[in-house]
């Protein structure tokens, strides 16, 4: 089993989402000894945004790209190869201003490639990243689960489904900025959710 861990918090050691993602990975490795792990920290190795130059590179035929364009496409290719090789994807995702961290959006923009990770057929879109499990550890200062303010879960579920990733488990740690007791309660609940999700 190949595990790909994606960390998206701007924080390093203090990040709850990274720690929860670490915990999911530890549980998975426990269940499947010999599992391999690739960790991509999107803040330590930031991926460039999808700007006009990047679009130009992607829409230029491979044999006509400049060296700079080829390098830009190759950097996206590397992220695509990582997720293609994974059997399980584990993401740590803080809520930042009601959305996902910008580096995670950049990663999603990089792995969403027509003809490679999705394609359109006469029946509509078809995701090409199949047979993978996804675990998402969500961390929030407030509490937004199952409310319209939680734009993260519908967004991530939509984009993952579009790419063929339909087996997605969300783990929530909410209320982390609501005092020490609320933080402890949130983390204890997240640990229980992790045990349940990995056992499922």
Q: d(Cα 50, Cα 127) in Å, to the nearest integer?
A: 21
Q: d(Cα 9, Cα 101) in Å, to the nearest integer?
A: 7
- 106 counts as binding ligand FMN under rule CB under 6 A: no
- 101 counts as binding ligand FMN under rule CB under 6 A: no
Q: What are phi and psi of 138, to 5 degrees?
A: -100, 135
- 66-95 footprint of ligand FMN as x/- string (CB under 6 A): ----------------------------xx
- 135-154 footprint of ligand FMN as x/- string (CB under 6 A): ----xxxx------------
Q: d(Cα 129, Cα 96) in Å, to the nearest integer?
A: 27
Instruction: State in angstroms the smallest separation of the CB of 136 from ligand FMN.
Output: 12
- 127 counts as binding ligand FMN under rule CB under 6 A: no
Count other Cβ atoms within 10 Å, centred on residue 16: 21
- 119 counts as binding ligand FMN under rule CB under 6 A: no
- 176 counts as binding ligand FMN under rule CB under 6 A: yes
Instruction: State in angstroms the smallest separation of the CB of 196 from ligand FMN.
Output: 21
- 17 counts as binding ligand FMN under rule CB under 6 A: yes
3-state per-residue secondary structure call for 115-156: CCCEEEECCEEEECCCCCEEEEEEECCCCCCCCCCCCHHHHH
Instruction: State in angstroms the smallest separation of the CB of 93 from ligand FMN.
Output: 8
Q: What are phi and psi of 62, to 5 degrees?
A: -50, -40
Which residues make up the interface to ligand FMN (CB under 6 A)?
9, 11, 15-18, 94-98, 139-142, 176-177
């Amino acid at each position: 089993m190949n595990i790909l861990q994606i960390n998206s918090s701007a924080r390093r050691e203090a990040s709850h989402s990274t720690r929860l993602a670490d915990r999911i990975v530890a549980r998975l490795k426990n269940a499947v000894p010999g599992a391999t792990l690739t960790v991509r920290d999107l803040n330590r190795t930031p991926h460039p945004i999808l700007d006009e130059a990047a679009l130009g590179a992607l829409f230029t035929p491979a044999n006509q790209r400049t060296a700079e364009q080829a390098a830009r496409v190759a950097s996206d290719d590397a992220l695509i190869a990582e997720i293609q090789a994974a059997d399980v994807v584990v993401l740590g995702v803080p809520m930042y201003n009601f959305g996902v961290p910008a580096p995670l959006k950049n990663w999603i923009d990089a792995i969403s490639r027509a003809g490679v990770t999705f394609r359109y057929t006469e029946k509509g879109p078809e995701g090409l990243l199949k047979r993978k499990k996804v675990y998402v550890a969500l961390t929030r200062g407030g509490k937004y689960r199952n409310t319209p303010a939680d734009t993260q879960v519908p967004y991530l579920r939509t984009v993952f489904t579009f790419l063929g990733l339909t087996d997605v488990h969300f783990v929530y740690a909410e209320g982390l900025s609501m005092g020490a007791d609320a933080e402890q309660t949130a983390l204890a609940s997240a640990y229980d959710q992790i045990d349940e999700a990995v056992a499922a």
